[in-house]
Amino acid sequence: MDGDDVIERFRAGDADAVRAVYREYGGAVTTVARSMVRDPELVADIVQQTFVKAWRSIGTFDGTRAFAPWLYSIARNTAIDAIRSESRPTRGGHEPETDRAVDGPTLEETWERHEIRRALDRLPADEREVMRRSHLLGETHEHIASALGVPVGTVKSRSSRAHRRLAADLAHLAPNRTSAPAVQVHEDRP
């Protein structure tokens, strides 16, 4: 993303710039929302509201500072507002609401998930599809080969290449280990 130019175009409401900002930061904003809220529909609402609020308040953005932290703080505040809104009592005959403690992921876990999603997104489409089918859907190599119309050996090759790429891309997550961390792919990915 060409930083200042895109932000200025975003400020002006340029549709391409809005899409570019969303492409660049949408995954991270989703990760911030997911770290605080479990309901996928509410997460989607938070992401949408974050970008609308960012666009509306871009005039308050200090261009001498980094854009990402400013956007993430909007996402965090939007998630907090959504949580507060969801926790307000409703009227009518229903079971009384009760509070319970929720242990969410740590900031480090959230960041690692984001890094894993970015690494998966950087895979070539054919390798990413093999990873999705294998790890998300639990399909065998034979089933994947049949579904994609390719030989089983091709599926195995793509899987092997994808694992090597991911291990290299994610090595920074495990600097003290001799190998990269196990890749966990979550089904609730947008």
What pLDDT does residue 183 have? 52
Output DSSP code: residue 135. Answer: I
What pLDDT does residue 1 have? 47
Fold equal for 3-87 and 107-173: no
What pLDDT does residue 187 have? 46
Query: Which of the following CATH numbers is that of domain 3-87: 1.10.1740.10, 3.40.50.300, 3.40.190.10, 1.10.260.30?
Result: 1.10.1740.10
CATH number at 107-173: 1.10.10.10
The pLDDT tens digits along the chain (190 residues) read 456 788 888 878 788 888 888 898 999 999 999 999 888 999 999 999 999 999 888 888 887 888 888 999 999 999 999 888 877 666 666 666 677 777 777 888 888 888 888 999 999 999 999 999 998 888 999 999 999 999 999 999 999 999 999 999 998 887 665 544 455 554 444 4
Q: Which residues contact 134 (CB under 8 A, 6 or more apart)?
A: 141, 144, 159
Four-CA torsion 5, 1, 33, 106, nearest 10 degrees: -120
Query: Would you list the domain boundaries of the chain?
Result: 3-87, 107-173
Helices and strands (DSSP H and E) totals, the chain:
8, 0
